[in-house]
Amino acid sequence: MTIRHDMVDVLIIGAGASGAAMAYSLAETKMRILCLEQGEWIKPTDFPANGRDWEARRWTDFDWFPNRRGRVTDYPVDDADSPMKVANFNGVGGGTVLFTAHWPRMHPSDFKVNTLDGVADDWPIDYWTLEPFFEENDRMMGISGLPGDPGVPPRFPPLPPVPLGLTGMAYARAMNKLGWHWWPSDVAVATQEYEGRAKCINLNHCTPGCAQGAKGSVDITYWPLAIRSGVELRTRARVREITLNEHGMAAGVIYYDAEGQEHFQPAEMVIMACNGVGTPRLLLNSVSGKFANGLANSSGLVGKNLMLHPWPQVSGYVADKVDGGRGPMTNLWSKEFYETDTDRGFVRGYTMQFSRSAGPVAEAFLAASTGRLPWGKDHHRVFRTRLDHKIQVGIACEDLPEEHNRVVLDHDNCDSNGIPGAKIEYRLSENTQRMMEHGIARATEILQAAGATDIYCPRNSLNSPGHLLGTCRMGNDPARSVVNAWGRSHDVKNLFIVDGSVWVTGGGVNPTSTIQAIALYVADQIKQRLATLFD
Ligand SMILES: Cc1cc2nc3c(=O)[nH]c(=O)nc-3n(C[C@H](O)[C@H](O)[C@H](O)COP(=O)(O)OP(=O)(O)OC[C@H]3O[C@@H](n4cnc5c(N)ncnc54)[C@H](O)[C@@H]3O)c2cc1C
Ligand code: SF4
């Protein structure tokens, strides 16, 4: 028997980056707000950083690939038809629990690529509309950085930057030699005590979770404040489908609790924040007489135009020891090749992201699997020249939207509640491949200028860095978009989407800063229009 709950004013699905920002912002309205999240709270004591097996757990219960992690709270994502593997985390905090916390914003040009470059579509909003929300979000997340970067619009991070350290200095010297732009990165890591958060103590476990509480994951930034303001967050609540009423409006959702019990939660308004794979999956699973091909899908675009940010990593080894394994992973960026220059043979561009290397197990895996660490008598000697000698440059490529890159339902692989999983179909375009090769060649020059040798870039394992974008794009034309310029479904007037799926194009940056700025902007639009929202 289905358990029926009392009506809420606002129902948010997903407690990740965008769901948390939305919940916090709407809380001031004093509406009855409920968030349903399929995963659970992760206690700081559960993070791998607490044990000596921390690196091994990056490939087990804290793996960023859901299929390998295989928690009961995960859902399967079949990526066999894609050169890129999907990364995520399902729990309070969503992807921010595992994220590396690098914090660039989209550039103004990213919102108008059709006007500037004649490709894809312009966004219905621009950078300057989002600017106040970028700033609010930076304060809420506790961003560290250095104002004054000539490569990006002005921004005012509330905390001082992450120190460059030995690795950062090696990159900075190389970039100065080449005369290319670089700047200390904005990072969602507290470099000083901030709003009850402890400061970073340079443990370098950021990606599998920061037990120190210095990394700005939304379970410790937005959620405590939203809950204190009256928002209810119900965990182990996995939504199967959104239902419609006789007026064609969202009536509420059917979800399962941890025991597999079915519930019906009615709501005046439903806001989806399940990310660029989870949101189309849920819409495609919500079929009805009116929407036989998935809810809010009259355009046929739900699930299409998936963008994942191809991200080749170019690595090399320097003679002097650097400080891999200590401090946040990333602390420099370069915007030298961000904007279009058609002489390069492709449109749009990429951010270069400069990283420290990780711990000994990761280094052993990578060096051995690329033939850089022999077995036998030379093993230890060579390993000493690898560990703490690696520098690596990531190339954050913009992949333009293409309809054949998409998320579809996978009826053969279901989650623990029997709900069909997701399947990714994705190909690299010619433009992206040229951009990648250009970036790999420039990164190689940088590593050479830093004195690195044995430089390599595996092209056969392009992991998505967890950037899941574009599958329910925003736009003014209902035939070419799923939601309007303020996140409301064209088809269902009390249904909103605020996660990365509303992106029109992907830019060449890590997306979370912009995802959350959009969520705060949509929340602001909802607050301003409350009286006429469903007209
Ligand atoms: C390893 C890794 C490193 C990353 N590094 C960076 C970085 O350095 N910088 C950066 O900007 N970004 C980074 N990211 C990406 C970042 O985490 C995402 O951009 C961001 O979390 C996306 O926010 P979102 O709100 O769209 O979705 P998410 O944060 O993914 O949240 C979605 C939530 O919805 C829940 N959900 C989904 N379906 C359902 C359902 N049916 N019922 C109930 N709940 C549901 C999920 O459990 C999840 O908690 C990284 C991601 C990973 C995995
Ligand atoms: S380096 Fe800093 S932010 Fe990263 S895990 Fe350690 S304490 Fe946390």
| Closest CA to ligand 2's atom 2 | 200
Model confidence pLDDT, tens digit, residues 102-117: 999 999 999 999 999 9
- Pairing type for strands 183-184 and 313-317 reads unpaired
Using only C-alpha atoms, the chain has a radius of gyration, in whole angstroms, of: 22
Give the span between the Cα atoms of 306 and 223, in whole angstroms: 28
The CB-based long-range contact list for 531-534 (8 Å cut-off, 24+ gap) reads: 533/269, 533/493, 533/494, 534/249, 534/493, 534/494
- Pairing type for strands 3-4 and 313-317 reads unpaired
Q: Which ligand is located closest to the Cα atom of residue 254?
A: 1
In contact, 153 and 127? CB cutoff 8 Å: yes
Model confidence pLDDT, tens digit, residues 477-503: 999 999 999 999 999 999 999 999 999
47 burial (CB, 10 Å; 0-12 / 13-18 / 19+) is buried
Polymer length of the chain: 535
Q: How many CB atoms lie within 10 A of CB 118?
A: 8
Predicted pLDDT of residue 463: 75
| Closest CA to ligand 2's atom 6 | 203
Q: How far is CA 420 from CA 47, 175, 199, 405, in A?
A: 29, 48, 42, 19
Contacts of 70 (CB under 8 A, 6+ apart): none
In contact, 333 and 111? CB cutoff 8 Å: no
- Which among 394, 333, 337 is positioned nearest to 168, based on CA atoms? 333
Q: How many CB atoms lie within 10 A of CB 191?
A: 20
Give the span between the Cα atoms of 75 and 65, in whole angstroms: 11
Q: Which ligand is located closest to the Cα atom of residue 162?
A: 2
Ligand 2 pocket, mutate which of 47, 144, 212, 330 (most atoms under 8 A from CB): 212
Residue 78, helix vs strand vs coil: strand
- Which among 31, 76, 86, 173 is positioned nearest to 471, based on CA atoms? 86
Amino acid at 253: V
| 204 in any annotated domain | no
- Which among 196, 262, 201, 252 is positioned nearest to 223, based on CA atoms? 196
Q: How far is CA 450 from CA 179, 335, 365, in A?
A: 13, 18, 24
Amino acid at 530: L
Residues having CB within 6 Å of any atom of ligand 1: 13-19, 36-39, 64, 87-91, 94-96, 98-102, 207, 238-239, 273-275, 278, 282, 465-467, 499-500, 510-512, 515
| 321 in any annotated domain | yes
Q: What's the CATH code of the domain at 172? A: 3.50.50.60
Phi, psi dihedral angles at 449 (to 5 degrees): -65, -25
| 125 in any annotated domain | yes
463 burial (CB, 10 Å; 0-12 / 13-18 / 19+) is middle
| 526 in any annotated domain | yes
CA dihedral 183, 189, 195, 199 (to 10 degrees): -110
Residues having CB within 6 Å of any atom of ligand 2: 189, 200-206, 210, 212, 214-215, 327-328
| 305 in any annotated domain | yes
Predicted pLDDT of residue 19: 98
| Token duo for residue 461 | 């394992």
Angle at 490 between CA 520 and CA 423, to 5 degrees: 80
In contact, 422 and 281? CB cutoff 8 Å: yes
Q: How many CB atoms lie within 10 A of CB 113?
A: 24
Q: How many domains does the chain have?
A: 1
Strand partners for 189: 215
The CA 122 to ligand 1 mean position distance, Å, reads 25
The CA 166 to ligand 1 mean position distance, Å, reads 31
- Which among 186, 188, 267 is positioned nearest to 220, based on CA atoms? 188
Q: Which stretches of 153-200 are assigned E, i.e. beta strand?
A: 183-184
* Ligand 2 atom with the shortest distance to the CA of 199: 7
Sign of CA dihedral 21, 22, 28, 30: negative
Give the number of C-alpha atoms closer than 13 A to the C-alpha of residue 77, restricted to the C-beta side: 31
Distance from first CA to last CA of the chain, Å, rounded? 35
Give the span between the Cα atoms of 63 and 46, in whole angstroms: 14
Phi, psi dihedral angles at 360 (to 5 degrees): -65, -35
Give the span between the Cα atoms of 232 and 469, in whole angstroms: 27
CB burial of 319-339 (b: ≥16 within 10 Å; e: otherwise) equals eeebbbbbbbbbbbbbbbbbb
Give the span between the Cα atoms of 510 and 504, in whole angstroms: 15
* Ligand 2 atom with the shortest distance to the CA of 49: 5
Predicted pLDDT of residue 464: 76
In contact, 500 and 468? CB cutoff 8 Å: yes
| 46 in any annotated domain | no
Predicted pLDDT of residue 461: 65
The CA 212 to ligand 2 mean position distance, Å, reads 7
Predicted pLDDT of residue 459: 79
Predicted pLDDT of residue 6: 98
| 517 in any annotated domain | yes
pLDDT under 50: residue ranges of the chain: none
In contact, 187 and 101? CB cutoff 8 Å: yes
Predicted pLDDT of residue 304: 98
The CA 216 to ligand 2 mean position distance, Å, reads 10
Amino acid at 83: P
* Domain assignment of residue 11, given as a range: 3-41+53-199+210-530
| 340 in any annotated domain | yes
- The secondary structure of 340-361 as a DSSP string is --GGGSSSS-EEEEEE----HH
Give the span between the Cα atoms of 326 and 165, in whole angstroms: 9
